[in-house]
């Protein structure tokens, strides 16, 4: 499921033009760093606008015996300011909120919350985060 959302997001040319450092799946790279995601940095080793898609938690939910809510977060980074991260966050909202991707056992994605205008600890970078809830069937 997380891979399907990732593939859906990276297929969007508008989003990827905003995230010039790329979008990464936490299952594959764990975190944004010069070691794990070198393409997220420019020739001067400064972070480019980039994102990290991460699963957060899964909880039982709803009237269906196998219904669940899976929370997914998108962490957005850039060196200074929030122009690229805000634009990327808004684009991701358009792409994901109230969407139903063609997956088995998957009902709908809804926007849950945003954390704008943060600083990334230990990275000397600006940070924003968006959380989405995926309503799904766990069989």
> How confident is the model over 83-125, as pLDDT tens digits?
999 999 999 999 999 988 766 666 789 999 999 999 998 888 9
What pLDDT score does 1 carry?
Answer: 79
Residues 117, 74, 130: CA angle, nearest 5 degrees: 50
Strand 67-78 and strand 106-120: the pairing is unpaired
State the pTM of this model: 0.91
CA–CA distances in Å: residue 129 to residues 23, 65, 78, 88, 137:
13, 31, 12, 10, 26
Q: What is the pLDDT of residues 17-26, one digit of tens each?
A: 999 999 999 9
Q: What is the pLDDT of residues 36-90, one digit of tens each?
A: 999 999 999 999 999 999 999 888 777 777 788 889 999 999 999 999 999 999 9
CA distance 52 to 86: 15
């Amino acid at each position: 499921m997380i891979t399907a959302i990732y593939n859906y997001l990276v297929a969007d040319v508008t989003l990827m033009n905003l995230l010039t450092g790329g979008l990464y799946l936490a299952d594959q790279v764990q975190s944004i760093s010069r070691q794990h995601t070198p393409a997220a940095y420019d020739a001067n080793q400064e972070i480019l606008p980039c994102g990290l898609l991460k699963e957060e938690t899964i909880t039982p939910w709803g009237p269906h015996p196998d219904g669940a809510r899976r929370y997914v977060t998108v962490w957005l980074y850039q060196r200074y300011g929030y122009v690229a991260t805000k634009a990327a966050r808004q684009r991701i909202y358009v792409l994901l909120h109230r969407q139903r991707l063609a997956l088995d056992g998957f009902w709908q994605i809804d926007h849950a919350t945003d954390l704008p205008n943060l600083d990334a600890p230990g990275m000397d970078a600006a940070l924003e985060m968006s959380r989405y809830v995926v309503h799904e069937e766990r069989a």
